[in-house]
Structure 1
Amino acid sequence: MSDQLKQAVLRYTGEHSQRDGVTSTPVHGLYLIRRTTSSDLEYTVEQPLVCLVLQGHKRVTIGSSTLSYAAGDTMIVTGNVPMASRIGQASIADPYLALALDVDTAVVTDLVLCTSEVHSSQPAPDTGTDLRDAVHRLVRLLDRPESLAVLKDSLIREIHYWLLLSHQGSAVRNLGLPGSNARRIARAVALLRADYARPVQIERLAAAAGMSRSAFHLHFRAVTSLSPLQFQKHLRLMEARRLILSKDKRLSEVAFEVGYESASQFSREYARMYGQPPIMHKRAALMLPPVFPAPT
C-alpha cells in the first residue's frame, strides 16, 4: 500500500507542479510534497495535521524534542506549535515525498459525539495500515473530479476516524471537544494568525479563549510551547522570510509590513531565528530561484 501511495503522489506532483515544494490539491487542506534537494532548516508554525512520509527522511524539532521521520512513518501534530525541520538527502532520482492533511476539528467533534469507539483509552492495533489505505483512496480520486465530489467527505471522515483510534487519539479527540484547552487556545491562535502585524492584545486573546489573563498565559504556553508574544514573533519572521525570498520588496518594507517599527530590531530578531541577517537572505534571493517551505 505504501508503494502504491508513493507512486500516486509522485505521479500527481509530476503532472501538477512545475517546481519542487508543495502541490495543492482539489481537496481543501490536502497537500502533496516533493523535494529533489535537501533543505535548509525551515521554520513553520503548524496547525493540527497528519503527515505521511512516503520517501526520504525529515528531522523535526518541536520545543526541546527532536524526532526523525523516514519512509513509512506518520507524524501527527495536535496543536498550533512552532516547528523547525530539515529534509535530508534527496535527489531527482530519489526525491523526498510526503503528504499532509489538515485536521478538521468539526469532523473530529462530530465523530467524538456520535461514535463511542473513539472514547476508548486504548489505541486500536495497526491503525496505520487503515489510515494509509484511506489516504491512498483519496489521492487516487484527485484526477476524477466527479467521483471526488461524491466520495471526498466520507474519506476525510474515515481518515479522521483512524486518527482518533491511533496512539495519539486522545490528543486528537481534545481538538474536537468545544471546552478543551486545545480548542479554546486555537481560537486565540486564529486571531494571532489573522492579525499578527498588529500589537498583541492579551485581553482580546484571553476573551476569545474564554479564560482569565493568567489562565490564558498558562494554557497558551502549555499548548504551543511559546508565550503569545513569542508566537507572534515567529509568525512575523516567517512571513518576513517569505517576502524576502519573493525578491520584490526592500528590507525596510518587509519589516514594516510584518509589524516592526524598528528596522534594527527586525534585523536582530531575524538573525537570531535564522542564523543570518536578512540582508544575506535578500542577496541570496536575488541570485537563486525562490524556494518556499513546505507546511510539514
Structure 2
Amino acid sequence: MNTRNHSGETGPALDPRHRVLREELARKIARFIGSEEKRVTDIPGLTLVRRTVPTAPACVTYKPSLAVIAQGQKRVDLGQTTFLYDESRFLLTSIDLPIVSQVIEATQETPFIALALDLEMTLVRELLSMEEVRTPPVQPDSPAMAIGKTTVELLSACCRLVDLLYSPADIPVLSGLIQREIIYRLLRGVEGARLRAIATHGDQSHRTAKAIAWLRANYAQPLRVEALAQIAGMGLSTLHHHFRALTAMSPLQYQKHLRLQAARGRMLIDGLDAATAAFEVGYESASQFNREYSRFFGQPPMRDIRSLRSSAAAPLEPVRVE
C-alpha cells in the first residue's frame, strides 16, 4: 500500500507564524462548535469537525473539497493509497471519491479539530480565466486527491473565514471573497494542478470527470462502459486508464462503492430493510448485495446498521448519494 503524507516542499511549520495561526484556528473552531462533533455552518460549503477519540474506519464519499486540520491527524484510504494529513498538511479532493476515512489522533484533552470546505468548480474556472493566475503542470496519472503543505497564507485565510461565523451579517459579502482566495492559493500549489485540469474544458481529466459525474448521478442504472466512454468523448481504453488514475478504481468498482454507500445510508437514515435498499440502488440480486456489502463493510447489512446505531464510532455523516 502506498502512503502519501507530504508534497515534497519545505515545511511551513518552520515559520513561527504557522503555529500561532494554527492554534488560533483551533481555538476559533472549538469555541464555535462547543461540544458538538460536527457543525454545518451558515457559510456555504463550510463544515467544522471535532472528535475527542479516534474513530473507526468509515466508508464515505468526499466531494471536491479542502480539509484543513487545526489539531490532530486523519487517515484517508483511496484504493491502495493511504493519505495521512495533520496540522501541517491539508487534503485536497478534486472530484467525488469513495474513500475510507479515519481520525487517528484525538483525545479529550487535545481533540481533533478541523474544517472542510466544498470547492465550487465555477469559482475554480473563474480564477483560471484570469491571466494572472499561473498554475504548475499536472503530473501524469496523479490521482484526484493530494496532500499539500498548509501554508501561513492558507491558515490566515481559513482563520478569516471562520471569523465570519461570529459576524453573520458579513457572510454574504465576504465569504465568497475569502473562498476565492483559498482556491487561488490551492491552484498556485503543485497539489492544485489536478483541480485545474479537471476544471479545464477539453483536458482528459475534465472529460473523465464528466463520466464520473454521470456515474454518480446514475449509479442505480445498469453500467455500459461503452456509453460512459461516449459521454466522456474518449476511447474505451483511454477512459479506463484516466478513470483509474483519478479514482484508483475501475468504473464498475466506483459504481459498486456508490451503490453500497447509498444502500447503507438508506438503511441507516430511512430505515429500509436490506432487500429494499439493495433494489433501490440498482442490485437485482439480494444475495449478491449481501455478499458485496459484507466484504465492503466487514459484516452483513442489518448487523452493520445495528452496530452503527449503537456505536459511538459511527461515521460523522452517513453518506446519501443522490
Report the TM-score range of the alignment, normalised by the length of the smaller protein: 0.7 to 0.9
What CA distance in whole angstroms lies between the structure 1 residues aligned with 2:185 and 2:310? 45
The aligned counterpart of 2:306 is 283
1:1-296 to 2 correspondence within 5 Å?
1-14=21-34, 19-20=36-37, 22-120=38-136, 128-246=151-269, 248-285=271-308, 287-288=310-311, 291-293=314-316
What CA distance in whole angstroms lies between the structure 2 residues aligned with 1:207 and 1:64? 28
What CA distance in whole angstroms lies between the structure 1 residues aligned with 2:214 and 2:81? 27
> Are the counterparts in 1 of residues 243 and 251 from structure 2 also a CA contact under 8 Å?
yes
Question: Displacement, 1:215?
Answer: 2.5
What CA distance in whole angstroms lies between the structure 1 residues aligned with 2:132 and 2:264? 45
What CA distance in whole angstroms lies between the structure 2 residues aligned with 1:274 and 1:70? 26
> Are the counterparts in 2 of residues 247 and 286 from structure 1 also a CA contact under 8 Å?
no
Question: Displacement, 1:289?
Answer: 7.1
> Are the counterparts in 2 of residues 43 and 85 from structure 1 also a CA contact under 8 Å?
yes
Shift in CA distance, 227/119, structure 1 to aligned 2, threshold 3 Å: same
Shift in CA distance, 87/198, structure 1 to aligned 2, threshold 3 Å: same
Shift in CA distance, 67/127, structure 1 to aligned 2, threshold 3 Å: closer
What CA distance in whole angstroms lies between the structure 2 residues aligned with 1:8 and 1:160? 21
Question: Displacement, 1:89?
Answer: 4.3
Paired amino acid for 1:33: V
Shift in CA distance, 9/127, structure 1 to aligned 2, threshold 3 Å: closer
What CA distance in whole angstroms lies between the structure 1 residues aligned with 2:271 and 2:99? 27
> Are the counterparts in 2 of residues 245 and 281 from structure 1 also a CA contact under 8 Å?
no
What CA distance in whole angstroms lies between the structure 2 residues aligned with 1:285 and 1:74? 28
Can you list the C-alpha shifts for 1:59-83, whole angstroms capped at 9, x where unaligned?
2222222232222321122343332
SS of the aligned residue for 1:28 comes to: coil
> Are the counterparts in 2 of residues 246 and 290 from structure 1 also a CA contact under 8 Å?
no
What CA distance in whole angstroms lies between the structure 2 residues aligned with 1:127 and 1:87? 18
Question: Displacement, 1:163?
Answer: 0.4
> Are the counterparts in 2 of residues 31 and 101 from structure 1 also a CA contact under 8 Å?
yes
SS of the aligned residue for 1:99 comes to: strand
Percent identical across equivalent pairs?
Answer: 38
Size of the alignment, in residue pairs? 289
Structure 1 unmatched ranges of 5 or more:
none
**Structure 1, 104-113 or 227-236: larger mean CA deviation:** 104-113
Can you list the C-alpha shifts for 1:228-271, whole angstroms capped at 9, x where unaligned?
11101001111222233337221212212222121111111011
The aligned counterpart of 2:12 is none
Shift in CA distance, 48/282, structure 1 to aligned 2, threshold 3 Å: closer
What CA distance in whole angstroms lies between the structure 2 residues aligned with 1:58 and 1:174? 26
> Are the counterparts in 2 of residues 118 and 161 from structure 1 also a CA contact under 8 Å?
no
Shift in CA distance, 247/140, structure 1 to aligned 2, threshold 3 Å: same
SS of the aligned residue for 2:165 comes to: coil
What CA distance in whole angstroms lies between the structure 2 residues aligned with 1:212 and 1:252? 36
What CA distance in whole angstroms lies between the structure 2 residues aligned with 1:229 and 1:293? 27
Question: Displacement, 1:286?
Answer: 5.4
Question: Displacement, 1:129?
Answer: 1.0
Question: Displacement, 1:285?
Answer: 4.2
SS of the aligned residue for 1:11 comes to: helix
TM-score, normalization by structure 1? 0.87
Paired amino acid for 2:276: E
The aligned counterpart of 2:144 is none
> Are the counterparts in 2 of residues 32 and 100 from structure 1 also a CA contact under 8 Å?
yes
Question: Displacement, 1:206?
Answer: 2.3
Question: Displacement, 1:131?
Answer: 1.0
